Amino acid sequence: MNRAKVLALVMLLVVALGAVSAVVAQDPVNLIVWSQDGDTNNVVLAEQFEIWAAANMPGATLEIVQKETEVLRNDLLTAGLAGSGLPDLVLGPNDAIGVFVDAGLLLPLDDLFDMSLYPFNLGAAQIGGVTYGVPTNAGNHLMLMVNTSLVPEIPQTFEELLAAAAAVEEANPDIQGFAYNLNEPFWFLPFVHGFGGSTYGEDGSMVLDSQAWIDAYQFVHDLKFVSEAVPQECDYACADSLFKEGSVAMIINGDWAIAEYLNPETSPGLVDSFAVAPWPELPNGSRPQPFTAGKFLSIPATVEGAQLDAAVAFATWLTTDPESVAAYSIGTGRLPAIAAVAVDPETDPILAQSNEALTTGVGMPADPTLRCMWDSVRPSLEGVMSDSMSAEDAAMEAQISAEDCLG
Amino acid sequence: MEFSGLSIEIILNTLQVLLPLLIILVIGVIALEVGLYLFLARVIKTKYALPYTLLAPAFVALVVFMIYPLIFNVLLAFSNLERSTFACYSPVSLGTCELDHLYGLDYAIQNFSDVFFRVRDGEIVGWGRLLRTADSTFPVLLGRTAIWTITNVVFHFGIGMALAIIMNQKIRFKGIYRALIVIPWAIPSVIVGLTWRQEFHAQYGFVNVLIQALGGQPVSWLDEPTAAFIAVIFVNVWLGVPFYMIMLLGGMQSIPADYYEAANIDGASAWQRFNGITMPLLRPIIIPAVTLDVIWTFNKLDVIFLVTGGGPQESTNILVSALYNAAFGPAATTELGFAAAFSIIIFIILFIFALVWITTSGGLKEIYDR
Amino acid sequence: MSTQTAVTPAPTPTWSEGGFKRVRQLIAGVLAIGGLVLTLVNGFSIGYLIVGLWLALLVWKPLHGILVFYATISVYPVLRVISISLRPTDGLLSRSLDLIPPGATLNSFVELFEEEEFLRWIWNSAAITITVSTIGVVIAATGAYAFSRWRFPGRRPLLIFLLTTQMLPASMLLIPIYVIVAQLNLTNNVIGLVLAYTSTAVPFSIWILKGYYDTIPPDLEEAGMVDGCTRMEAFYRIILPLSTPALSIVFLFNFLASWSEFLVAKVILQANQVMTWPLGLNELIGTFNTDWGKYAAGSVFVTIPVLLLFLWQSKYLISGLTLGSVKG
């Protein structure tokens, strides 16, 4: 062996060792996800990641940063302005996607994911034909939730609901018959849909002052001030806490809460007495229709390289692997977003009921202008619910405000 | 081993970050100070080398975290930053920019006029809306801020003074009373805000439970605009009284007793003693305290943010909380240029007010003339 | 310094002192007994007795009556938080005014430590707060000394500038501060927050300390310098020890401010690892969570140490803030 060969061999060894050590020494991937979801559901997400990482990317970690809807939206925009500090994944409802896409802060996903794996539900995350999110679950819809130990017969109409509530309150004055998040537009929109209204008119312009809106304002006003069927003041925390304690018989809440209500530790008042159902019918014979969309995973524009590969791989697995989808769905109490996983009414009656409620909903548009509707309806709804604004004025004010917002 | 999210590793991690920071700061500051001192003393030869050197760290900190943000904000006010133009200003945006210039006087005029005027088809049709409701106009918010500030400062001062006078008497259990009354000052404001929010709940808060126990009608504290405004003012008064009580009590205790004895010999009434001795001698305490309180109350965001969030119907917003809601709240726009212009106007109002107040009261002479 | 006042009693009242006192005692007695009777009649609802006793006190010793009333207003909300932290999970929302709830339990405290990362939040907050308070005091102590002892050009504008920094609306600073911190790549780090807090704490600290130094006669340092100290040695050996009350107040103020700061932390901190307790507690009762029990337990935990610190330092509170402002 001559010197040159030895030298070459040594060099090769060094390079090989270097490459190996580079691979070994490479920091394990840490994915940061900003999640708009609640605690219980984030725990499930973390568990799923563990399973995925153990099989596919040992050592990889997931950091879940919980952020409320508005906080998530603002923080992502601020980070975008600063040019750094964006997460690797964003998990949230589809209505924020429009704003982020406008700002150019999300990656188009069509080339990164196999979109044929998602046969439905993608429209809610598409803007201009481009997909910006993959669904972790379907739903995110509001429905009627009943404590069956207090109300054994699930009411089918609001008339029945009011009667049932009155009966509960008569039997035990400490228990509230019916409660929901009174001043939150997301809980109000289903009524509007039920009265035949919608956010956008036929020509695509925003219409917040049609007769349906006025009827809906009047209806929720009368629920509080005429039939006195709801508490004087109730926000999400109030309805949710009372329901968990067993101090309110019926509430309206979304699929995100199901997992907590099924957990005897967090919901001591609901053990073996929890049921969900579609909204009861309005006096006009149709049901209020909740917005449906599901939650979506999106990838911010700054993610690249190994981080991007890991984010795509994990998101793909989480949203398409049948076992993962099923586990995520059962763990979070939410509906699977792909057809390959079906809900079995035998083993999972609550999910089946939730699925039934889902079919009564209407899809939530991903249009960024939807924001203007939420913001404009809120003060009007607050005015109606404090009896300081008539239904007509409320609708008119919301319309003016929305036109302002649209510019 | 990890308990409640804390492990030795995490503790070491934090120390690893903070200790070097401290060391770098200490060494860096000393090195810079020596350099600066030598520069000032040897090169410029000013006899004030030492005071300038002593002030340098404080002002570097202020420049980085106060002046730079201020300049940044002025720059934003001269920008056209909104939803559709976000791509122009964000270094990481994938969108395309269609603006021919990023900053300009034309944008500034637009932003500042948006704060005041509502323009439709090129004509001014009224006051501009800072948030979503028809009432969220500049004059309404300014008026509400004035009511908020004046009410708060008057109650802070009045109750604080009354308590201080009582506590300045010969009275038993003084130490216990003082300790108890100071408590609101010591509670973290996050907890104050969130707790009071819960206690103003129409059904489960103790405020309404007490009202009903005493035979009154329950009040929808968080749903009725007027009631909600009273609630936030109450919380802020509750928070602010201890500061005044302590300041005024301290002042009263340092007034020599012989002043009062002399007054007594002259047969002065209690009111004459208060008005003739206590008030004038407390002036050097009262004027700076009131000045600071006015500024702090005018800028007080956390109480409103935590107790009502500015609602219901945006009716408990003062200028600064409206600004927060316009930039970060549920109804946040992405029009940051507009928000920056709004913030500068708030700052200017306060600045002019403070300048006028300081010059007319003359009270701060005490601070800078001794 | 004499902290005791000698306010001589007011001139003799026109009415006979003894008679007036006896009438008041009589009314007070009637009120107290009335409260007791109403309580017994209404099935032991203790409220009547409390109101009766308080009215009696107000008539008998009006000053104590007022002080007791105000002290109650100050303390009651705190007692309520403690009471909520003791409630069992199925009775968190209740119209009861009992301070010890039926079925009282320490469960919320146990859950707070076991289910949340509470200790980590506390540790982060404590580390940030102590660093900020220390750096803040050091920076302000020297800066205030310069303002107090020298009449240098630019002194007045700089003092007014300090006041001006208090006028910047907090929401105006949030986005720029985030941008600075993000560009320094410190969003997952406590350093960003430490720097931001320190600079906001400095102006008020300088303000207080300068006022205090002003009351220390310059002769003291001059005497020291005659003995061979340099100016800085004199400051260090003579002025600083004399300023303990003001320094502790400044430390306490900075401590309180950064211990409970919320808005800036919410924008800057983007990692669970560095989360502070205000963010953590806020999350417990955020949009999708309603853990009132854990929230109240956490509140009790973070408030008690600060309260003790406050009470312990309260002897300095009065002198540190106002000493010397009143020229006798």
- The partner residue sitting opposite B22, judged by closest CB among C131, C140, C318, is C131
Query: How much is the pLDDT for C282?
Result: 86
User: Which of the residue ranges A362-366, B168-172, C40-44, C248-252 would you say has the lowest mean pLDDT?
Assistant: C40-44
What is the reported pLDDT for C292? 83
pLDDT reported for residue A289 = 95
Min CA distance, B335 vs chain C (Å)? 13
Which tokens sit at A152? 């054994």
Task: Using an 8 Å CB-CB cutoff, list chain C residues near A269.
Answer: 90
Residue B292 lies in a domain: yes
CB contact under 8 A, B202 and A386: no
CB contact under 8 A, B242 and C74: yes
Scanning every residue of chain B, which has its alpha carbon at the shortest distance from the alpha carbon of A377? Answer: B132
96-125 in chain B: CB under 8 A from chain C: none
pLDDT in tens, C132-150: 998 899 899 999 999 999 9
Q: Does B92 touch chain C (CB under 8 A)?
A: no
Q: Distance, in angstroms, between C205 CA and closest chain B CA?
A: 10
Q: What are the two backbone dihedrals, phi and then psi, of residue C6, each rounded to the nearest 5 degrees? A: -125, 70
Nearest chain C residue (CA) to B67: C165
Question: How does pLDDT run across B315-332, given as a tens digit for each residue?
Answer: 999 999 999 988 887 666
Identify the closest residue of chain A to B81 by CA–CA distance: A81
Residue A25 has pLDDT above 70, yes or no: no
Chain B residues within an 8 Å CB radius of A70: 328-330, 332
Task: Indicate whether A74 pLDDT > 60.
Answer: yes
CATH of residue B298: 1.10.3720.10
Subunits with 3+ Cβ pairs within 8 Å of C are A, B
Query: Hey, are the CB atoms on B171 and C63 less than 8 Å from each other?
Result: yes
The pLDDT value recorded for residue C41 is 78
**Model confidence at A14: pLDDT above 80:** no
3-state secondary structure of B342: helix
pLDDT-based confidence at residue C299 (cuts at 50, 70, 90): very high
Examine the domain organization and report whether B61 and B148 are in the same domain.
no
Structure tokens at C65: 């009556």
Does C250 or C46 have the greater pLDDT score?
C250
- B71 and B145 co-located in one domain: no
The C residues from 74 to 103 touching A (CB cutoff 8 Å) are 89-93
d(CA B306, CA B296): 17
* CA distance linking residue B79 with residue B183, whole number of Å: 46
Across the interface, whether the CB atoms of C326 and B267 are under 8 A apart is answered no
Are residue B147 and residue B268 in the same domain, yes or no? Answer: yes
Q: How many structural domains does chain B have?
A: 2
What dotted CATH number matches A27-139+293-358?
3.40.190.10
Longest Cα separation, chain A: 102
Check residue C164 and give its pLDDT.
Answer: 85
Contacts of B48 (CB under 8 A, 6+ apart): B40, C150, C152, C153
* Residue in chain C nearest A42 by alpha carbon: C288
Residue C24, Cβ density class (10 Å: 0-12 exposed, 13-18 middle, ≥19 buried) = middle
Q: Give me the helices (H) in A57-151, please.
A: 69-82, 97-102
Residues of chain A in Cβ contact (below 8 Å) with chain B: 70, 73-74, 77, 80-81, 83-84, 86, 99, 102-107, 183, 231-233, 238, 301-302, 368, 374-376, 378-379, 382-383, 385-386, 388-389, 397, 400-401, 404-405
Mean pLDDT to the nearest integer, C156-162? 86
B350 lies in a domain?
no
Pairing mode, strands A362-363 and A291-292: parallel
Q: Which two tokens stand for residue C125?
A: 């907050």
Structural element, H or E, at residue A31: strand A30-35
Task: Give alpha helix (H) positions in A26-157.
Answer: 39-56, 69-82, 97-102
Among candidates C90, C183, C287 on the partner chain, residue whose Cβ is nearest the Cβ of A82: C183
Place of tokens 């803007």: A127
Q: Which helix (H) or strand (E) holds A176?
A: strand A176-179
Residues 6+ apart with CB under 8 A from B60: none
- Optimal mutation site among C3, C7, C206, C284, interface B, most CBs of chain B within 10 A: C7
Is A246 near chain C, with CB under 8 Å?
A: yes
With 60 as the cut, is the pLDDT of residue A24 above it? no
Inter-chain CB proximity A104 and B332 less than 8 Å:
no
* Full residue range of the structural domain in which residue B216 is found: 138-332
In single-letter form, the type of residue at position B354 comes to A
Q: Are C164 and C233 in contact (CB under 8 A)?
A: no
pLDDT digits (tens, 9 = 90+) for A316-345: 999 999 899 989 988 888 888 877 677 777
pLDDT at residue C8, rounded to an integer: 47
C283 interaction partners in chain A (CB closer than 8 Å): 66
- Mark yes or no for CB contact A242/C187 under 8 Å: no
DSSP E strands: which ranges in chain B? 117-120, 123-127
Is A142:A252 a contact under the CB 8 Å cutoff? yes
Fold of the domain spanning C112-322: MetI-like fold (1.10.3720)
Predicted local confidence at residue B336, as pLDDT = 85
Span A91-142, pLDDT tens digits: 998 878 888 998 899 999 999 999 888 876 678 888 888 999 999 988 889 9
What is the C-alpha to C-alpha distance for residues A191 and A39, in angstroms, rounded to an integer? 29
Q: How confident is the model at residue C284 (pLDDT cuts 50, 70, 90)?
A: confident
Structure tokens at A59: 């050592």
Of the candidates B58, B182, B210, which has its C-beta nearest C202's C-beta?
Answer: B58
Section C15-28 average pLDDT: 75
Q: Which two tokens stand for residue A173?
A: 């004055």
Confidence of residue C4 (pLDDT cuts 50, 70, 90): very low
Residue A6 pLDDT > 70: no
- Rounded alpha-carbon distances, angstroms, from residue B235 to A109, B240, B307, C75, C84: 49, 9, 9, 13, 19
Instruction: With beta carbons under 8 A apart, name residues in chain C contacting A32.
Output: 270-271
C289 touches chain A (CB under 8 A): yes
Task: Let me know: does C262 contact C275? Beta carbons within 8 Å.
Answer: no
Chain B residue numbers with beta carbons less than 8 Å from the beta carbon of C285 are 194
- Chain A contact for C112, CB < 8 A? no
Q: State the DSSP H helix or E strand holding residue A92, giving kind and residue range, or none if neither.
A: strand A89-93
Residues A182-195, mean pLDDT to the nearest whole number: 94
Residue numbers in C near A237 (CB within 8 A): 285, 290, 292
Backbone angles phi, psi at A65, to 5 degrees: -105, 115
pLDDT-derived band at A177, boundaries 50, 70, 90: very high
Looking at the partner chain, which of B61, B180, B182 has a beta carbon nearest the beta carbon of C139? B61
Q: What is the 3-state secondary structure (H, E, C) of chain C?
A: CCCCCCCCCCCCCCCCHHHHHHHHHHHHHHHHHHHHHHHHHCCCCHHHHHHHHHHHHHHHCHHHHHHHHHHHHHHHHHHHHHHHHCCCHHHCCCCCCCCCCCCCCCHHHHHHHHHCCHHHHHHHHHHHHHHHHHHHHHHHHHHHHHHHHCCCCCHHHHHHHHHHHCCCCHHHHHHHHHHHHHHCCCCCCHHHHHHHHHHHHHHHHHHHHHHHHHCCCCHHHHHHHHCCCCHHHHHHHHHHHHCHHHHHHHHHHHHHHHHCCCHHHHHHCCCHHHCCHHHHHHHHCCCCCCCHHHHHHHHHHHHHHHHHHHHHCHHHHHHHHHCCCCCC
Extract the residue ranges of chain B whose pLDDT is less than 50.
370
Contacts of A400 in chain B (CB under 8 A): 134
Q: Which CATH class is domain A143-290+362-406?
A: alpha beta
Determine the pLDDT at residue B360.
82
Residue B244 lies in a domain: yes
Rounded to 5 degrees, what angle do the CA atoms C34, C37, C40 make? Answer: 150
CB contact set of C152 (below 8 Å; sequence gap of 6+): B48, B51, B52, C146
Contacts of A301 in chain B (CB under 8 A): 92-94
- What is the three-class DSSP state of A110? coil
Q: What is the DSSP letter of B137?
A: B
* A-C C-beta contacts closer than 8 Å: 75
Q: Chain B: list its partners (3+ Cβ pairs within 8 Å).
A: A, C
**CA C178 – CA B274 distance, rounded (Å):** 50
Contact across the interface for B312 and A232, Cβ inside 8 Å: no
- The whole-angstrom separation of Cα C138 and Cα C146 is 13
Distance CA A17, CA C248 (A): 59
What is the distance between the alpha carbons of residues B196 and B208, in angstroms, rounded to a whole number?
A: 12
B303 in the same domain as B202: yes
Confidence (pLDDT) at A13: 60
* Tens-place pLDDT, residues A254-298: 998 898 899 888 888 888 899 999 999 999 999 999 998 888 999
How many CA atoms are closer than 13 Å to the CA of C186, on its beta-carbon side? 18
Give yes or no for C179 touching A (CB within 8 A): yes
Residue C107 to chain B, least CA–CA distance (Å): 15
Q: Closest by alpha carbon to C33, among C23, C20, C48?
A: C48
Q: Which residue has the higher pLDDT, B53 or C272?
A: B53
- How many Cβ atoms from other residues are within 10 Å of residue A345's Cβ? 13
Taking the Cβ of residue B359 and every Cβ of chain C, the question of whether any pair is shorter than 8 Å is answered with no
Q: Could you give the residue range(s) of every CATH 1.10.3720.10 domain in chain C?
A: 112-322
SS3 A121: coil
Q: Please report the pLDDT score of residue A120 as a whole number.
A: 67
Q: Is the dihedral of CA A377, A383, A384, A389 positive or negative?
A: negative
CA distance A87 to A31: 8
- Under DSSP, the state recorded for A23 is H
Nearest-angstrom CA–CA distance, C108 and A204: 51
Q: Can you give the pLDDT at residue A21? A: 45
User: pLDDT band at residue C310, thresholds of 50, 70 and 90?
Assistant: confident
CA distance B356 to chain C (A): 13
For B336, the closest chain C residue by CA position comes to C175
| Rounded-to-integer distance, Cα A211 and Cα A222, Å | 16
Tokens 């004459």 belong to: B272
Q: Which residue has the higher pLDDT, C325 or A356?
A: A356
Same domain, B324 and B204: yes
Cα B247 from Cα B292, distance rounded (Å): 12
Shortest distance between the Cα of C38 and any Cα of chain B, in A, equals 13
- Enumerate the domain spans of chain A: 27-139+293-358, 143-290+362-406
**Amino acid sitting at position C80:** R
For A277, the token pair is 């159902």
* Six-digit token string for B95: 């969108």
CB contact under 8 A, B251 and C326: yes
Tokens of B360: 């007319």
pLDDT recorded at residue A23: 47
Question: Cβ of A46 under 8 Å from any chain C Cβ?
Answer: no
Q: Does C90 sit within 8 Å of A269, measured CB to CB?
A: yes
Residue type, A53: A
Per-chain mean pLDDT for chain C: 83
| Distance of residue B314 Cα from the nearest chain C Cα, in angstroms | 17
Contacts of A70 (CB under 8 A, 6+ apart): B328, B329, B330, B332
Contact A81 C266 (CB under 8 A): no
